[in-house]
Copies of this chain bind each other. A is one copy, B any other.
Amino acid sequence: MAITLVNGIVCDYISAQDRGLHYGDGVFETLAYVEGHFQFLQQHLARMQDGAERLGIPYPDESLFLGDIHKLLQKADAPRGVFKLILTRGQGQRGYRPAKKSIATRICQYSDWPEHIDNWKSTGIDTRICDTRASVNTSLAGIKHLNRLENVLASSELGANYQEGFLLDNSDNVIEGTMSNIFTVIDKTLVTPELTHCGIAGVIRGQVLKIAEENRINTEVRCVSKDEIVEAREIFICNSLLGVCAVNTIDGVKVQSNIITNIIDAALNKRMSLNA
């Protein structure tokens, strides 16, 4: 089941002039609603505001988004679900150049919880290195914007045997998964790719880094080469729906250890219930 609000009104359509369609001119967030609570709601809204500001899209009063998700929650009436928030620069005339004053379009969609990811979380997942590369652009790096063709193409490479794939930049550094951020453990240090020139800086990625610091786990945010990843003995991915999820294999090679993954997972679950 899916229910959509456009600018606060139940509606399955948006204007064919919307710049979200024409240029991917907008930002989005994916929120997990679990056991009666939105996970890291404030962090998601803060990231959306930051992305909108970097793109020069007017960010609406936060109460409007809060009103939307509570309205949807009542309609959905389910113990858990996925809430996607989209903010576009709104309707535009022909041409790339934004109007001096834009009226942003606010979209809020509820979807049923994707049950298959519960299995992924309990068993771990098989992964590969994708042929599709991550787009390099310092102006856009880190933002969860609507230009996501690289994620679409990379995910279409996965087929039935892989649950996630990783994108490299054009220097063969690993950037992220098609729908997740990646962490690995190298010489007892938790390592995740820096996202200064491509990729999305995930909300859960930020939480994992905080948890590692609190637990005095050595951490590095740096360039991570493809070779380091395929030789890694511990890898996990994270996103807003999965939380943390162990990687079992990468390109068919077994990943042996889950020690740090389990520590982070337990701490994240605790943080989520406190956050709730």
Binding site for B on A (CB under 8 A): 2, 4, 6, 11-25, 28, 55-56, 82, 84, 86, 88-89, 93-98, 107, 109, 111, 114, 131-140, 145-156, 158, 170, 178-179, 197
Contact = CB atoms under 8 A, between A and B. Distances in A.
A146 B97 contact: no
A140 B153 CA distance: 9
Contacts of A197: 170
B94 A22 contact: no
Given A19-B152, A22-B146, A137-B150, 6 more contacts: A12-B16, A16-B107, A84-B94, A97-B152, A136-B136, A140-B150
Contact of A96 (B19, B21, B96, B155): B155
Find the residue from A19, A136, A137, A158 having the highest chain B CB count within 10 A.
A137
B109 A95 contact: no
Find the residue from A15, A133, A147 having the highest chain B CB count within 10 A.
A147
Contacts of A134: 137
B25 A149 contact: yes
